[in-house]
Amino acid sequence: MPIETSPRVHPWATAREARESLGVSERTLARWRHAGLLKPGQHWRRKFPSDNSPVLYHLQACESTMSEATARTAELLEPSLMQPQRKGHMPIGHHMRRHR
């Protein structure tokens, strides 16, 4: 009788695998890397030590950071929306409201 073995779970995933597992696009992952939300060595690394090498993502670290980010207040996520409006400027979307 053959022994059933589960595939070895590796913490580092390709961009495609990360996209499917985390539920965000590869472009979003790249934006988060460039914005500093995902840190090199902790959340992502290159497969080989070359700038042209594919990026690998640490799924557990990325998921943890995504959970923390979604738990933040609106003020931390969108500070521009929380700033007081300057005189003479209408809030975003105000011009689209219908006045009766």
91 pLDDT more than 90: no
Cα three-residue angle 83-84-85, rounded to 5 degrees: 115
Give 69-86 pLDDT, tens digit per residue.
877 655 565 666 556 656
pTM over 0.85: no
Beta bridge mates, 12? 58
Residue 92's φ and ψ, nearest 5 degrees, are: -55, 135
Confidence of residue 8 (pLDDT cuts 50, 70, 90): very low
Confidence of residue 5 (pLDDT cuts 50, 70, 90): very low
- Output the pLDDT for position 68: 86
Structure tokens at 9: 């779970």
> CA 96: distance to chain centroid?
31
Q: Edge-to-edge strand order for the sheet containing 12-14?
A: 12-14, 55-58, 44-46
Structure tokens at 100: 């009766």
Domains and CATH numbers, the chain: 12-78 (1.10.1660.60)
Cα three-residue angle 35-41-42, rounded to 5 degrees: 75
Give 46-72 pLDDT, tens digit per residue.
999 999 999 999 999 999 999 888 776
Give 14-30 pLDDT, tens digit per residue.
999 999 999 999 999 99
12 pLDDT more than 80: yes
